Amino acid sequence: MYMKHKRIPDETIRRLPLYLRGLVFLLQEGHLSVSSEKFGDYVGVNSSQIRKDFSYFGEFGVRGVGYDIRKLAIEIKGILKLNEIHKAALIGAGNLGSAIISYPGLQLYGFDITAVFDNNTHKIGKKIRDIEILDVAKLGILKKKNIQIGIITVPRNAAQETADALVKAGVTGILNFSPCYIIVPKNVKVITIDIAGYLARMPYYITAG
Amino acid sequence: MYMKHKRIPDETIRRLPLYLRGLVFLLQEGHLSVSSEKFGDYVGVNSSQIRKDFSYFGEFGVRGVGYDIRKLAIEIKGILKLNEIHKAALIGAGNLGSAIISYPGLQLYGFDITAVFDNNTHKIGKKIRDIEILDVAKLGILKKKNIQIGIITVPRNAAQETADALVKAGVTGILNFSPCYIIVPKNVKVITIDIAGYLARMPYYITAG
DNA sequence: CTATGTGAATTTATTCACAGCA
DNA sequence: TGCTGTGAATAAATTCACATAG
């Protein structure tokens, strides 16, 4: 196998976690090997899409046979740089923040929320799942703790200043749950999830006329 | 203005809630009118993208001037069918489910979670934000209550059966937070949000090499 | 002059269709 | 024979660039 020099579509990267998740669950269900066709049915993606996506990174399957699930999972983990545990900090210990800290799915990809911050004096000092809530003024410790990823679950009006503080603390990746666009230096990656926005599309699709 | 017959890109629909949100907040900040350029900076979308997106539905702006924010918000609400309150049911009263029930953003788009279900006998009968948690076996009442939208926040292994029950109860739109692909009749719209999947892309983007 | 609205050009992503290999 | 890997074809989405209207 030799590597060609093709730009990798963002959409491909978006699907890789989905594939990894599918492979992990197939393994748990006792499968060892799978074809792109079967796998496509399992994860809801067209089979040639799946083969094309993999092809950007190498040849992971065996013609006439399919893919070794375990081996493929390792390959995708490697592509996504998920081979080692990634520490993350969460800012905003409200309802959503608490839910995310306890969210079981993060473990599957090797994430560990090791620091939690809030600006509410009633919350500072208390614990969520054994993690002490710290004053958001102390975000600077992230640099020392070598935490590169920040998760923002603060109210909208505090999102930009929180992002600024995270960037100042050396964070290079921000997962933003606040419903707003935040501006960061171009060496910082922001992914925004607007939960309500997903729901807001529903009536368009389900209402006749 | 006369309507042409062009297919509306899914991506355009995806951005409309973002636009609506931005307009509502601009109004709250006291603005009455905005150009596509300024609005693009505000919501993080290219200005010609914004103009193109609007153009699928009509001519909402004034050349040389810009857009009347209030009027544009009403137009987008109309397109997304958000003019009336939409009732929704939530299934799975765990951490994430509870956070979503309390999520302030749903109100902005006119959603109201009026029914909550769980299968845990310890939770059934208790209340979350004044809403009594009902036995998931009673999902059938959704038809009577005329609830069309279901939000799934149950564990992965219960997601498909929950979706089946929702469909049986007459639901035509499902917002699925479980990390799996669910199969439904083609008259039902499913939008899946895999929270961990977003985070899983981060190391790829922020890790050098 | 200014900023919209929109065809045309371009870029990006998906699907087809089949050669190539086990 | 069966399923991958991949160029080529197609489709979808974005951006350009400018005519057009206030």
The predicted-structure confidence for A91-107, as pLDDT tens digits, reads as follows: 999 999 999 999 999 99
> Computed over its alpha carbons, how large is the radius of gyration of chain B?
20
> In this structure, which amino acid lies at residue B204?
Y
CATH 3.40.50.720 residue ranges of chain A are 86-197
Q: Which CATH number fits domain A10-79: 2.60.40.420, 1.10.10.10, 3.90.1150.10, 3.30.70.660?
A: 1.10.10.10
B55 CA, C5 C1': Å apart: 7
Within 7 Å of a protein beta carbon, the nucleotides of strand C are: 1-7, 12-17, 20-22
Residue A119 has pLDDT above 50, yes or no: yes
CATH 1.10.10.10 residue ranges of chain B are 10-79
**Edge-to-edge order in the sheet of strand A189-192:** A127-128, A131-135, A111-118, A86-91, A149-152, A173-176, A189-192
Residue B1 has pLDDT above 90, yes or no: no
Supply A105's token pair: 């799915």
- Going by pLDDT thresholds of 50, 70 and 90, the confidence category of residue B6 is confident
**CA atoms of B158 and B152, how far apart (whole Å):** 10
Instruction: Output b/e per residue, A31-55; b: 16+ Cβ within 10 A.
Output: eebbbbeebbebbebeeeebbebbe
Q: Which of B16, B178, B10 is nearest to B81 (CA)?
A: B16
By Cβ distance, the residue of A25, A43, A203 closest to B86 is A203
**Burial grade of B105 (CB within 10 A; 0-12, 13-18, 19 or more):** buried
Supply B87's token pair: 């009732």
Contacts of B170 in chain A (CB under 8 A): none
Topology, domain A86-197: Rossmann fold (3.40.50)
Residue A1 has pLDDT above 50, yes or no: no
- Could you tell me the sign of the dihedral formed by the alpha carbons of B27, A192, B18, B85, in that order? negative
Residue A162 has pLDDT above 90, yes or no: yes
Q: Which residues have a Cβ under 8 Å from the Cβ of A29 and sit 6 or more positions away?
A: none
Contacts of A47 in chain B (CB under 8 A): none
Task: Specify the pLDDT at position B5.
Answer: 67
Task: Specify the pLDDT at position A2.
Answer: 43
**Burial grade of B84 (CB within 10 A; 0-12, 13-18, 19 or more):** exposed
Q: A37-89 pLDDT, tens per residue? A: 999 999 999 999 999 999 999 999 999 999 999 999 999 999 999 999 999 99
Q: Mean of the pLDDT values across residues B16-32?
A: 98
Instruction: Output b/e per residue, A159-187; b: 16+ Cβ within 10 A.
Output: bbebbebbbebbbbbbbbbbbbbbebeee
Q: Which residues have a Cβ under 8 Å from the Cβ of B136 and sit 6 or more positions away?
A: B91, B117, B118, B119, B162, B165
Residue B110 has pLDDT above 70, yes or no: yes
Contacts of A80 in chain B (CB under 8 A): 200-201, 203-204
Q: A173-184 pLDDT, tens per residue? A: 999 999 999 999
Q: Which residues touch strand C (CB under 7 A)?
A: A 7, 9-12, 46, 48-49, 51-52, 62-65; B 1, 4, 35-37, 47-48, 51-52, 54-55, 59-67
